[in-house]
Structure 1
């Protein structure tokens, strides 16, 4: 596993450069996936399992479920981690039939299928978290750049 190379390749494939906004990233992901992306707060995610977010890919829409949090940055990191799984093509075997998912209740079979990714010491999880951190840095860089522009040019 070459984390730096894999993260750099995923960033290059994204095609947004080194700095971009969160909204730019969401739009790029929808374009890349060729289907809408929906992000939903879901208090029913099992905190005892350490699950902060889940990506449910379907043929028509990608859904990211997040545990509710008061911190916008914390929530964003949860979403970025799931977007990283998308960018890294980690969900090829996770396609969910939309009929299986009734919000906010997730059928036990679907949840078990997705909980395979709860082990944070696996290669896919390490790589997804590294890419999520890189995405967050790019978003922070964009925000800092916009702030500097406003300071200089008003």
Structure 2
């Protein structure tokens, strides 16, 4: 079995690395063009996204084993599946699903590798012949993970699920300038 996982190096489509500020700007620009249902409903949002791209996207809660990622995306020839650990509930579940969906929205490129030992354990019931790609979130070090996390947070804010941190009242002009420089 061969699976595809996210590239581990951070590079723009033109080959250069992005700063966190550039990641944020890219995600903000993309988020502005995405319809978010009002009132927000995760299932409707995912269904509408699948309809818009002409390829169904399904959300699945799954008992992922200890040490497995909390969310991942599995692509077959006919559909994409956003898998969220069944241990996640409430806003954590929504955020994990938005993170995995963000990978699809951002059209992240994949890298084929030979079967990773854990992939067979995660999906023993899934026919290896139907899996086209599998994306697993394990850390936030790669640019793709930073982008997906940023876009998921922005979509959650647009949906009214959580609010950005309230601005602090600066007590010192130096602290104010430092805070502004670190915001993005």
- 1:103-118 to 2 correspondence within 5 Å? 105=125, 114-115=135-136, 117-118=137-138
Give 2:160's aligned residue.
Answer: 140
> What is the aligned-residue RMSD (CA, Å)?
3.4
In structure 2, list runs of 5 or more residues that go unmatched: 1-17, 113-119, 163-184
* Larger Rg over CA atoms: 2
**2: distance between equivalents of 1:32 and 1:26?**
10
Inter-CA distance 64–104: structure 2 relative to 1 (3 Å threshold): farther
**2: distance between equivalents of 1:133 and 1:60?**
28
Q: CA deviation at 1:91?
A: 5.2
TM-score normalized by the length of structure 2:
0.58
Higher strand share: 2
Bigger relative contact order, structure 1 or 2 (CA pairs below 8 A, ≥6 apart): 2
In structure 1, list runs of 5 or more residues that go unmatched: 95-100, 143-154
Higher helix share: 1
- Tell me the alpha carbon deviations over residues 94-145 of structure 1, each in whole angstroms, 9 at most, x when there is no partner: 7xxxxxx99564579x7x9634x52311110011000000111112269xxx
TM-score normalized by the length of structure 1:
0.68
Size of the aligned set, in residue pairs, is 131
**4+ residue runs over 3 A deviation:** 17-20, 91-94, 101-108, 112-115
**Are 1:54 and 2:72 matched, yes or no?**
yes
